[in-house]
Chain A
Amino acid sequence: MRHFIIKSLMALIFVGTNAAAQDYEYNLPIKEHIFENGLKLLVIERPGDNRVAAKIWTDMGALNEIPGEYGAAHFLEHLMFKGTPTLGARDWETEKPLIDEINITEKAMIAELNRARNDIRERGVFHDYKHEQTTPEIARLQKHIDDLERKVEDLTIEGTTMKWYQAFGGTRLTASTEQEYMHFDIDLPANRVDIFLRIEADRMTNAIFRKFDAERMILVEQRIGFLNRLNSRYLEAMEALVGRTSNVYIPEGYMTDFKNYTRQYERYLYDTYFIPNNSTLIFVGGVTMDEMIPKVEKYFGGLERKPEPTRYYGQEPLPSGEKRLIYRDNKLSPRVELRYQIPGVGHPDKPHFDVIKEVMRYRLQKTLDDKKIGGSVNVNTRVVHTNNYGLPSSIHFAALYGDTKKLDASEEAMLAEIKLLSEENILDEELKFAQKTLRTQWYRAASDPNQLNFHIGHFEVMDSWKTLKPYLEARDKTTVEDVKRLVKQYFIPDNRTIGKVIPRGAGQ
Chain B
Amino acid sequence: MRYLLKAPCLILSSLALSLSAQVLAQDLTHPRDMKISKSEFKRPDPAKYQVSLDNGLVAYVANEDQVPLVSLSAFIRAGKIDGHKEGAAEALAEAFLSGPKTMSSTAFKAALKRMTAEYSVTLHNKWIEINLNVPAEDLEEAFELFSTTVISPNITEANIKAAAEKATKDIKVDKNGVIIDGSSSVAVSKFHDIILKGNILGKKLVSSDFEDLSTHDVENFYTAYVVTGNMTIAVSGDINEKAIRKKLKAQFSSLINNTPPDRRNVPTIRRQKNKYHYFPADKLQTWLVIGHPLAPVAFKDETAFEIMNYILAGGHFWTRMFIETRDKYGLTNDASGYIEDQWDGSGSYSFHSSSRHDVTKQLYDNIMGVIYEIQKELVSDEELMIAHNALADGVYEMKFKDGNATARSFAIEKLRYGNHDHSKSYPARVRSVTKKDVLRVANEYLHPDAFQVIIVGEHINLQ
Contact = CB atoms under 8 A, between A and B. Distances in A.
Interface in B173-194: 180-183
B323 interface: yes
B36 A218 contact: no
B41 interface: yes
A217 B331 contact: yes
B370 to A, nearest CB: 13
A191 B40 contact: yes
Interface in B376-425: 385-386, 389-390, 392-395, 397-398, 401-402, 404
A170 B394 contact: yes
Contacts of B7: 262, 264-265, 267-268
Given A192-B37, A198-B34, A271-B11, A169 B22 contact: no
B135 interface: yes
Interface string A1-35: 11110000000000000000000010000000000
Contacts of B29: 198
B437 to A, nearest CB: 19
A104 B328 contact: no
A66 interface: yes
Given A167-B385, A168-B393, A192-B37, A268 B6 contact: yes
Given A25-B68, A206-B19, A228-B285, A169 B389 contact: yes
A218 B39 contact: no
Contact of A218 (B16, B333, B394, B397): B333
A15 B34 CA distance: 34
B324 to A, nearest CB: 9
B180 A68 contact: no
B281 to A, nearest CB: 9
A425 interface: no
B146 to A, nearest CB: 17
Nearest to B330: A217
A107 B4 CA distance: 9
B31 interface: yes
A43 to B, nearest CB: 15
A34 B384 CA distance: 40
A202 B28 contact: yes
A168 B40 contact: no
A304 B24 CA distance: 12
B455 to A, nearest CB: 15
Contacts of A191: 37, 39-40
A interface: dominant SS: helix
A164 B382 CA distance: 10
B4 A265 contact: yes
B350 interface: no
Contacts of B3: 66, 69, 265, 268
B66 A189 contact: no
Given A114-B5, A158-B323, A267-B11, A166 B389 contact: yes
A264 B8 contact: yes
A114 B333 contact: no
Given A169-B390, A189-B41, A228 B283 contact: yes
A360 interface: no
Interface stretch (A367-375, A437-445, A472-480, A494-502): A437-445
Contact of B30 (A86, A158, A439): A86
A171 B394 contact: yes
Contacts of A440: 69, 116, 134-135
B308 to A, nearest CB: 16
Contacts of A153: 328
B109 interface: no
A187 interface: yes
Interface stretch (A207-215, A339-347, A349-357, A416-424): A207-215
A299 B328 contact: no
A252 to B, nearest CB: 13
Contacts of B47: none
Interface in A202-240: 202, 205-206, 211, 213-218, 220-222, 224-225, 227-228, 230
Interface stretch (B149-157, B259-267, B314-322): B314-322
A264 B4 contact: yes
Nearest to A191: B37
A376 interface: no
Contact of A163 (B10, B34, B386, B394): B386
Interface in A122-177: 153, 158-159, 162-164, 166-171, 173
Contacts of A199: 31
A199 B294 CA distance: 38
A85 interface: yes
B397 A298 contact: no
A198 B330 contact: no
A40 interface: no
B318 A166 contact: yes
A220 B357 CA distance: 12
Contacts of B328: 153, 158, 211, 214
A51 to B, nearest CB: 6
Contact of B316 (A2, A162, A192, A213): A162
B356 interface: yes
Given A166-B386, A214-B329, A331-B180, A439 B135 contact: yes
A447 B6 contact: no
Given A198-B27, A218-B330, A437 B8 contact: no
Interface string A173-193: 100000000000001010110
Given A268-B7, A437-B116, A103 B238 contact: no
Contacts of A216: 330
A221 B285 CA distance: 8
A201 interface: yes
A173 B134 CA distance: 29
A13 to B, nearest CB: 21
A267 B326 CA distance: 22
A225 B333 CA distance: 9
Nearest to B31: A164
Contacts of B31: 87, 164, 167-168, 195, 198-199
A110 B114 CA distance: 61
Contacts of B36: 168, 192, 194-195
Contacts of A263: 11
B384 to A, nearest CB: 11
B316 A50 contact: no
Contacts of A447: 64, 66-67, 69, 404
Contacts of A227: 284
Nearest to B21: A304
Interface of A: 1-4, 25, 46, 49-51, 66, 68-69, 81, 85-87, 100, 103-104, 107, 110, 114, 153, 158-159, 162-164, 166-171, 173, 187, 189, 191-192, 194-195, 198-199, 201-202, 205-206, 211, 213-218, 220-222, 224-225, 227-228, 230, 262-265, 267-268, 271, 298-299, 302-304, 331, 433, 436-437, 439-441, 443-444, 446-447
Interface of B: 1-8, 10-12, 14-16, 18-19, 22-23, 25-32, 34, 36-37, 39-41, 64-69, 114, 116, 118, 133-135, 180-183, 238, 283-285, 316-318, 322-323, 326-333, 354-356, 385-386, 389-390, 392-395, 397-398, 401-402, 404
Shortest 8 CB-CB contacts between residues of A and residues of B: A169-B393, A302-B25, A217-B330, A214-B330, A268-B7, A164-B31, A443-B67, A440-B116
Given A264-B7, A303-B26, 12 more contacts: A1-B238, A66-B3, A103-B12, A114-B1, A166-B390, A169-B390, A171-B395, A171-B397, A202-B28, A214-B329, A217-B331, A447-B69
22 contacts: A86-B30, A100-B16, A103-B11, A159-B318, A162-B316, A166-B316, A166-B318, A167-B389, A168-B36, A189-B39, A192-B36, A198-B29, A202-B26, A211-B328, A214-B327, A221-B330, A228-B285, A262-B4, A265-B7, A271-B14, A433-B116, A443-B135
